[in-house]
Structure 1
Amino acid sequence: MPEVIESTRAATRWITRIVPAFLVGAVSYATFVLVGRVCSTYLINKRREVGAAVVILVLYFILLLLMVATYLRTISTVFLDPGVVPLGPRLEARRKFEFESRRPGRRGTDFDSRIYQSGPDLDPDSPGLELFYTKDVFICENDGRPKWCSECCTWKADRVHHSSEINRCVFRMDHYCPWVGGMIGENSFKFFVQFTTYTASYCALVLGATASSLRKQISEGTPLDAHFIAAIALAAFFGLFTFLMTFTSMRYILFNMTNVDALSSRSKVYQLAVHVPRGTVSTDKFSVVTYPLPKLDEQLNGRSNGVVENGNGASGAGIESGVGSATRDDLATRTFAILKTEPGENPWNVGVWRNWQTVMGTNIFDWFLPVQRSPCATHESHESFYPMGHALADVLARYGLSGVAGKDSDKAGVEMKELGRGNGNLDGRA
């Protein structure tokens, strides 16, 4: 059964339960006014404008159907597939610690006196870490490790943010929306934009048709219909609100941003771990880190991160030394340079057209129909969690790494075969 993600705040949970009933009431009233009083009573029966009424009714029910479909798709995704990051295994230990520490009668024990460590998992074989260093580039900290969430006890992939509203990390988190009852992230953002677009169009139709009829009543000198005025006010309020949401969301799509990204878009600096050839050493411009990270016993025995000993006792830089004592594990190592963007550079801006496609899809039907999820939610690329644009090339050029980053990716297989010929062993064991 899918995990249902809700707000941690009781007031917000009540609001999300009340909002759907309020929206149903507003739409029902708009239908009563536009269909019953504007089209049927006024335009058809009184003014005999059957053609205009039919056009309005057809457009109205098309937009109503699309609005309802996108709303249902959005809330179902928000509740059943919100795009949250799985909780880390260390969280269970923390919860056990917190539970045991609250038990009555436990005073002065070593267990209770220990401070729970919420920092990153320092285990070189930490679960999930390999998902990062098998990529060619990822967002990292100063030591080259990915970002860590102390609340979820897990490594944070690119563009993952922790939401205090639902107390979970969310892929491409945008905002918490009480109108749809949950967190808008990469799985639901496309459907949310479709919903606000159709709602704004729906409100514009109600507003235009009702205001036109009210203007005709004023010119005729007949008593004004109070329902017309109420419907105009309601449509204007929701129409303006959803139009602004649509405009803002479209801007985010075209620039490949989220609401979280926009909060610091002019000053944000991203730190990237970029795959470079083995043997690349730190300079005064950047430092390097090599994965898999060394284990404690390797460090104590003279091995360090990315450095192995030659047969004559001298140390050399990983596989690039070309010595025959290299192992299959050595060939599997990957070195990353730790680089920084300039303030305001958006590494995920891949151009307006590709930005649009990563969210809305490559098929024109996907742009209008709430069926397929955004392509960016698949995370199938081996290069990075999300495609990166010219900003990455600019960063590499500034650090003098253009044409070098990721260069030894295709050489790994050749080197593995050469090692196998020398050792007579290609049975796949490390």
Structure 2
Amino acid sequence: MSFESTKAASRWVTRVIPVILAVAVGYATYVTVARVCVDYLIHDRQQNGSAVTVLVLYFLFMFLMIATYLRTIVTINTDPGLVPLGPLAVSRRGSRYGSDKAHRADDLEGQPYFMAPDSNPDSPGLEQFYTKDVFICETDGRPKWCSECCNWKPDRAHHSSELNRCVLRMDHYCPWAGGMVGENSFKFFVQFTTYTACYCGIVLGAAGSSLTKQMNSGDGVDGFLVGALGLGGFFGLFTFMMTITSLRYVLLNMTNVDLLGSRTKVYQLAVRIPRGSEGTDSYHVINYPLARPGSSYSTNQHNNGNGAVARVNSPNLGREARDSLAHRTFAILRTEAGENPWDLGYWENWKEVMGTNLIDWLFPIRRSPCTKHDRNESFYRMGKIVNEVRVRHGLAQEPAAGPDGLEMR
């Protein structure tokens, strides 16, 4: 499977950039090791201690930079975190008219065949949403739909025009890092930019200090040192700004896409409430699995003759009563403008992306904890905003069991 951009220009840039970076690192290594440490510090000034210090720091950060860069590229090109295509998209893209390339606006045959969400109550993938306690939804209570991929979009997934696929926690397409940066590679990308900025700082410090001393002693200007300063300054400033920006995303638990219009963005949440609950003036409800046209489901309750509602909890349930236990009711709630449902606080946000210990923070070994998706509550951990939204609408802070005490058994 190819994870390359659908745009020819992006593909060529992505292939050329590693060569450029290799040449730049090779040049910086020659200047720092040969020109600065060996020729100047050791031979000319006999400052062996300074030379050893520069060499240790240089190769340390170069090793970390290369390791994180390779980890980023490998992850991006083997598992960028794509959402599976729906059956309709698989069929369409496998047909003679199917294409992974961007559609021209005036090409009728190139337009998506299936713009509307799948109306089938048993639509593949729908169950992964209503088995959660909270998920992002549309006004009608159904998850967001991608007309290009013909599939339901998990929370925080966005469609990439570069790949023509939906990407989990998509951040941006980076030709310097080899492709699409998403949840699987974002941690390694942050480590790469951080170590590259530090590496460039060592090159700038070594070359700048040596050049200044040479000029003050009247030895003239070494053109190699000037070139190293230019390269180090360019890449150092670029990666430093990328590091600051990425660390901001980490601390806010957001992505580049999430921040677009974040001050005015409003999320609609499908929040699980006791099964069979009715809507209010504040919110409406939706029941899952979706009912087929002309059918409904039983709330699995009956009157015991004294006006009380009896709860059915026998293990020997009839088919109709048993099937009703698999139903869930969700209230459709709205956040206020600018609220981030995934904000856990700076420390928890950091651990969600960078890991829980120093080894995870420093080395590109394990992926971010947020990539596991093994939670029953939601696709990603949600913060206090969700409970605040519940309270605003008169609901309990935590989802409660259904009226018969059983759910999803």
2:212 maps to 1:218: no
Instruction: Note the C-alpha offset of 1:161.
Output: 0.2
Pairing 1:137–2:134 present: yes
Output aligned runs, 1:65-80, within 5 Å. Answer: 65-80=63-78
Give the equivalent residue in structure 1 for 2:150.
153
Q: What is the SS of the residue equivalent to 1:327?
A: helix
Q: Which moved more, 1:16-25 or 1:397-406?
A: 397-406
- Greater Cα shift, 72-81 or 399-408: 399-408
Distance 1:88 1:58 in 2: 52
Name the CA shift for 1:98/1:399 in 2 (closer, same or farther; >3 Å): farther
Which residue identity lines up with residue 212 of structure 2 in the other structure? R
- Indicate the SS of the match to 2:97: helix
Q: Note if contact 1:289-1:335 (Cα within 8 Å) is conserved in structure 2.
A: yes
Name the structure 2 match of 1:425: none
Distance in 2 between residues matched to 1:91 and 1:16, nearest whole Å: 27
In the alignment, does 2:346 pair up with 1:346?
Answer: no
Show the counterpart of 2:253: 256
Other-structure match for 1:5? 3
Q: Which amino acid aligns with 1:358?
A: E
* Cα RMSD, aligned residues only: 2.2
Task: Give the corresponding residue for 1:46.
Answer: 44
Provide the secondary structure at the position in 2 that maps to 1:338.
strand
Alignment partner of 1:82 is 2:80: yes
Q: Distance in 1 between matches of 2:338 and 2:204?
A: 40
Aligned residue identity for 1:366 = D
Match for residue 372 of structure 1 among 358, 362, 366: 366
Change (3 A) 1:48 1:309: closer
Paired position in structure 2 for 1:245: 242
2:399 matches 1:399: no
Q: CA deviation at 1:236?
A: 0.7
Is 1:116 equivalent to 2:113 in the alignment?
yes
TM-score (norm 1): 0.86
Task: Give the aligned partner of residue 18 of structure 1.
Answer: 16
Counterpart check, 1:188 vs 2:185? yes
Give the residue type in structure 1 aligned to 2:66.
Answer: V
Alignment of 1:24-43 (within 5 A): 24-43=22-41
Partners of 1:54 and 1:147 lie apart in 2 by 57
Question: Does the CA contact (< 8 Å) of 2:301 and 2:311 recur in 1?
Answer: no
Cα distance in 2 for partners of 1:39, 1:410 equals: 76
Give yes or no for contact 1:332–1:412 (8 Å, CA) kept in 2: no
Distance 2:310 2:282 in 1: 23
My pick for the range that moved more, 232-241 or 324-333, is 324-333
**2:377 equivalent in structure 1:** 383
CA distance in 2, matches of 1:245, 1:385: 27
Does structure 1 conserve the Cα–Cα contact (< 8 Å) formed by 2:387 and 2:398?
no
Structure-2 change in CA distance of 1:394 and 1:308 (3 Å): closer
Equivalents in 2 of 1:32, 1:309: separation in Å? 77
Q: Tell me which residue corresponds to 2:357.
A: 363
Deviation per residue, 1:196-254 (Å, 9 max, x gap) = 00000000010011101111011101111011111011101100000000000000000
Distance 1:354 1:10 in 2: 40
Q: 1:207 maps to which residue?
A: 204
Instruction: Assess, with a 3 A threshold, how the Cα gap between structure 1 residues 43 and 311 changes in structure 2: closer, same or farther.
Output: closer
**For residues 91 and 176 of structure 1, what CA distance do their matches in structure 2 show?**
23
**What pairs with 1:258-277 in structure 2 (closer than 5 Å)?**
258-277=255-274
Q: Which residue of 2 aligns with 1:337?
A: 331
Following TM superposition, by how much is the alpha carbon of 1:75 offset from its aligned partner in structure 2, in angstroms?
0.3
Aligned pair in 2 of structure 1 residues 274, 93: CA closer, same or farther (>3 Å)?
same
Question: C-alpha distance in 2, partners of 1:221/1:280?
Answer: 85
Aligned-residue identity in percent = 58
Deviation at 1:181, TM superposition (A): 1.5
Distance 1:97 1:60, change over 3 A: closer
Query: How many residue pairs end up in the alignment?
Result: 387
CA distance in 2, matches of 1:397, 1:388: 15
- 2:169 is the alignment partner of 1:169: no
Residue aligning to 2:284: 287
Which consecutive unaligned segments of at least 5 residues does structure 2 have? Answer: 99-108, 304-308
Q: TM-score, normalised by structure 2?
A: 0.90
Instruction: Give the SS at the match of 2:5.
Output: coil
- Once the two structures are superposed, what CA deviation does each residue of 1:72-110 show, in whole Å capped at 9, x if it has no partner? 00000000011011111111333466639xxxxxxxxxx
**For the residues of structure 2 that align with 1:40 and 1:365, how far apart are their CA atoms?**
34
Q: C-alpha distance in 2, partners of 1:36/1:409?
A: 77
Cα deviation for residue 311 of structure 1 reads 8.0
Secondary structure in structure 2 of the residue aligned to 1:212: helix
**Is the Cα contact below 8 Å between 1:266 and 1:343 reproduced in 2?**
yes
List aligned pairs for 1:295-314, cutoff 5 A. Answer: 295-296=292-293, 299=294, 303-304=295-296
Does the C-alpha gap of structure 1 residues 142 and 55 become closer, same or farther in structure 2, counting only changes over 3 Å?
A: same
